Amino acid sequence: MEKKTHFSIWYIIGVVMVMLFVQALLSALLFRPNIEQVHYSEFMKKVQDGTIKSVEITDQNLVGIMKGTGENAKEKIYTTIRVPDDTLIPTLKAHNIDFYGKAQNPWLRNLLSWILPIAIFFFIWRWLFGRMGNTLSKGISSFGKNQAKVYTGSKADVTFDDVAGVEEAKEELKEIVEYLRNPGKYDKMGARLPKGVLLVGAPGTGKTLLAKAVAGEAGVKFFSLSGSDFVEMFVGVGASRVRDLFKQAQQQAPCIIFIDELDAVGKARGITPYSNDEREQTLNQLLSEMDGFNTAKGIVILAATNRPEILDPALLRPGRFDRQILVDKPDMSGRYEILKAHTRWVDLADDVALHRIAAETPGFVGADLANIVNEALLLAARKGKERVHMEEFDEAIERVVAGLKKKNRLMNPEEKRRVAYHEVGHAVIGSLLTDEPVHKISIIPRGIAALGYTIQLPTEERYLITKSELLGKIAVLLGGRASEDIFFDDISTGARNDLEKATEIARRMVVEYGMSDKVGLTTLEKPQQVFLGIEQQFNIEKRYSPVTAELIDEEVRDILTDNYRKVKKLITEHRDTIERIAQQLLQSEVMDEKTFTRLLKIEEQPLLK
């Protein structure tokens, strides 16, 4: 890719200086060398002294050539402004000086001294703006050209072997690859290739990587661009770019068009009270083009989004994006395969267990796991190690989960003691009321505001969660506040984030999951959608009355209050155990699962009902 020159005011200054230099040079050549400008009286004195041998008379000037002395003497030229003088010609005749008239050529002089430098300036200016890719040199029509990057089959060197953890999505896309390789096989059966395939999934799950793998496997040209590349501040530009894109694609068929972040251009029309004519025109043109082109040529449109709920319904109907493929977060086996793919060229120590890392990272997507591997490599290099050990992977996971360790954030002894009892309260309640073992407890500050943290890891992948398990999660979140209340007879602001999460779980139990006896089985709210930082509520019908809203608030408050009361009772019953663990944590600052289990020494209690 050619590197573009950045615009600078020094370019203009340089061009002006060059123009002035060229003008001065041409003027010097035009008016002859060794010219000395003198007054008219001095010029006439040299005529009378016999210094000048010949005089050239023009309309405005007198040019006198001085007599040279010696064999190699150069002629010196004097020039002066011509003034009305009736004695000029008689004086020249009296001193036997040759004189002759010469008609001036002003247009040639102007051409050489002004027009030529301006022409040079214009060509230099054009060259500079051509280097900068300025639209003045390319023409206004460049606004309407599509911004897609085109890759050939050889350059798109990503294949399905480079994609791990999303086997179901790969299987779906292999059919597209097979059609692009052998379209006749499907044409004989009368099968029609899907016009569009929409990859849906959370950020970082590998949607863009899958699209590149499809192009690499099929060996066809790959047009890649983002949804935001279509939209400009000028109305009509986006629609023009869509037309240009599909025109090029039909000329290069078979090929793949990949539109990343489709929601940037494909938001549902009328989703907000504010209109955007440019975006809607672009969307209308995209819908029209997808209806108009023929898939028999082998053109496949791939698109990716993590917000399918806000896409325009016209995009998702059959005949446009016929197929939607979910690129979900990987399960434990998928995370293991992703880690294997990212550590193929990494020199791992013998103590590194990728299965354990996969088990310790529930909910992580491919981008998160790639970040963990990179963080572990950086830590190993910083320590001067030649191989990456499990120690670096554990530290990398903590960095991603809890943030960077704050070595310079020193807590006073009283705050440190409060944080220790707070975190042990979470851990003990988690051991009593949930099946997720406590993996680690720390009172070392990390991240922006975390003064301590407790990590619990699930023993297996879960896709459903029961009411008792949700109550158990609320209890664990309230364990820190309850421990502070009992051991210090006072509370602090440290439980703010815990209370936010507990309140959110309780509210969802009431308004989404139908887990409240008072409110009943009705689902009262949809999951909140965020549009431009504003909760998208203006197009969702309000589904309950003010009386029901008061009942919801009362029920959420009752769930939290009842659980808090039961958690305080459990902490009081196991006060000695919490005291013992907290004292050990104050000394070591970090406690692993083995040490915590040894210090617990209590029987598990029934789940909180």
Whether 66 is in a domain gets the answer yes
The CATH number for 21's domain is 3.30.720.210
The CATH number for 362's domain is 1.10.8.60
Per the listing, tokens 């041998």 go with 53
Provide the CB-side half-sphere exposure for 25 (13 A, CA).
8
How many residues make up the chain in this entry?
609
Q: Which of 280, 423, 436, 555 is catalytic?
A: 423
Q: Is the peptide bond before 330 cis (omega within 30 degrees of 0)?
A: no
Region 261-267: mean pLDDT is 84
Q: Residues 6 or more apart from 356 whose CB is under 8 A from it?
A: 390
Q: Report the distance separating Cα 290 and Cα 273, nearest Å.
A: 27
Residues 322 and 336 in one domain: no
Alpha helix segments (H runs only) across 58-182: 88-94, 106-110, 116-131, 135-138, 167-181
pLDDT tens digit sequence for 397-451: 888 877 777 666 677 888 899 999 999 999 999 999 988 888 889 888 876 567 8
Domain termination residue (choose one: 402, 421, 446): 402
Residues 436 and 576 in one domain: yes
Whether 51 is in a domain gets the answer yes
**pTM of the entire structure?**
0.68
Residues 523 and 593 in one domain: yes
Region 31-50: mean pLDDT is 76
Whether 128 is in a domain gets the answer no
Q: Report the distance separating Cα 137 and Cα 129, nearest Å.
A: 6
Domain termination residue (choose one: 377, 402, 427): 402
Q: Report the distance separating Cα 261 and Cα 277, nearest Å.
A: 19
Structure tokens that stand for 211 in this block: 């699209």
pLDDT tens digit sequence for 536-553: 443 444 577 888 889 999
Strands ordered across the beta sheet of 590-592 = 453-456, 438-442, 590-592
Helix (H, G, I), strand (E, B) or coil at 255: strand
Helix (H, G, I), strand (E, B) or coil at 368: helix
**Count of domains forming the chain:** 4
Q: Report the distance separating Cα 211 and Cα 202, nearest Å.
A: 15
Using alpha carbons, list the distances in angstroms from residue 516 to 248, 474, 544, 554: 58, 15, 15, 11
pLDDT surpasses 80 at 314: yes
Residues 394 and 430 in one domain: no
Does residue 442 contact residue 598 with C-beta atoms inside 8 Å? no
Residues 381 and 239 in one domain: no
Residues 45 and 185 in one domain: no
Whether 114 is in a domain gets the answer no
Which DSSP symbol is given to 112? I
The CATH number for 527's domain is 1.20.58.760
Q: What's the Rg (C-alpha) of the chain?
A: 41
Per the listing, tokens 């449109």 go with 301
Whether 593 is in a domain gets the answer yes
Q: Report the distance separating Cα 434 and Cα 430, nearest Å.
A: 5
Of 107-121, 257-271, 374-388, which one has max mean pLDDT?
374-388
Closest CA to 314 of 272, 275, 278, 270: 270
pLDDT surpasses 50 at 609: no
The CATH number for 276's domain is 3.40.50.300
pLDDT tens digit sequence for 551-581: 999 999 999 999 999 999 999 999 999 999 9
**Do the strands 438-442 and 453-456 form a parallel or antiparallel pair, or are they unpaired?**
antiparallel
Which DSSP symbol is given to 321? S
Closest CA to 388 of 349, 417, 445: 349
Which DSSP symbol is given to 51? -
Q: What percent of the chain has pLDDT over 70?
A: 76
Q: Report the distance separating Cα 352 and Cα 348, nearest Å.
A: 6
Residues 248 and 374 in one domain: no
Structure tokens that stand for 102 in this block: 């010469």
Does residue 137 contact residue 126 with C-beta atoms inside 8 Å? yes
Region 173-197: mean pLDDT is 78
Residues 521 and 420 in one domain: yes
Strands ordered across the beta sheet of 299-305 = 149-151, 221-226, 255-260, 299-305, 196-200, 323-326
Residues 306 and 392 in one domain: no
Residues 261 and 300 in one domain: yes
Q: Residues 6 or more apart from 525 whose CB is under 8 A from it?
A: 511, 512, 543
Q: Tell me which residue range forms the domain holding 569.
A: 413-600
Please say if 167 is a catalytic residue.
no
Domain termination residue (choose one: 326, 344, 373): 326
Q: Report the distance separating Cα 213 and Cα 258, nearest Å.
A: 12
Residues 163 and 249 in one domain: yes
Alpha-carbon dihedral angle through residues 405, 407, 412, 413, given to the nearest 10 degrees: 80
Residues 268 and 251 in one domain: yes
Q: What are φ and ψ of residue 384, in 5° steps?
A: 80, 20
Which DSSP symbol is given to 456? E
Whether 140 is in a domain gets the answer no
pLDDT surpasses 50 at 509: yes
Strand partners, 592: 440
pLDDT tens digit sequence for 69-118: 544 445 678 788 888 887 888 888 888 888 877 765 555 555 556 666 67
Q: Report the distance separating Cα 505 and Cα 498, nearest Å.
A: 11
Alpha helix segments (H runs only) across 237-328: 237-251, 263-266, 277-292, 313-316
Whether 498 is in a domain gets the answer yes
What single-letter amino acid sits at 152? T
Q: Report the distance separating Cα 517 and Cα 467, nearest Å.
A: 12
Alpha helix segments (H runs only) across 182-262: 183-189, 207-218, 237-251
Per the listing, tokens 């060259």 go with 127
